[in-house]
Amino acid sequence: MKEVGIINREIAAAISKQGHTDLLMVVDAGFAIPNGVEVIDISLGENMPTVPEVLAELKKFFSVEKMVIAKETKNVSPTLFANISKSFGEGVPVETVDHSSIREMSKNVKTVIRTGDFTAYGNVILVSGAGNRWKVEKPG
């Protein structure tokens, strides 16, 4: 029985499928997920779990080089925006785009993790990174 790491088998498998620059999305309870995109629904109830809680666990096992968040999140839910923005550390840039762009980009993600978060515009696209394990003889 798996007792360490991410124990949700679908999330563990989804992370294993991610390559450099692939997209994984963590969304709130109301996000309209496009047809054909793999969905892992971990919503248990209102705000259970939240997007920041899921990101905190993902950070332990998943390398991210950039996050994409809607401008509307910053305007409507500034506390959530701040929490998401710092979830992977200061070295991970945050790109803000219109919510309509987030919806369009969601068609190209490999996996969406749906939470029970009821905070408006609680959606983030994670761009898979190479992590700090990679050796480089000469910076390019």
Sequence ranges of the domains in the chain: 39-128
Catalytic: 20?
yes
Q: Range with the lowest mean pLDDT among 39-48, 101-110, 122-131?
A: 122-131
CATH superfamily, domain at 39-128:
RbsD-like domain (3.40.1650.10)
Can you read off the two tokens belonging to residue 126?
A: 């994670």
- 24 - beta bridge partners? 111, 126
Instruction: State the catalytic residue, choosing from 9, 20, 86, 107.
Output: 20
Element (H, E) at 101: helix 99-105
pLDDT 10s digits, 53-81: 999 999 999 999 999 999 999 999 999 99
Q: Residue 105 and residue 23: Cα distance in Å, rounded?
A: 9
Q: Which residue, 26, 87, 78, is CA-closest to 56?
A: 87
What's residue 23's pLDDT? 98
Is the pTM higher than 0.85? yes
Task: Give the three-state DSSP class for 27.
Answer: strand
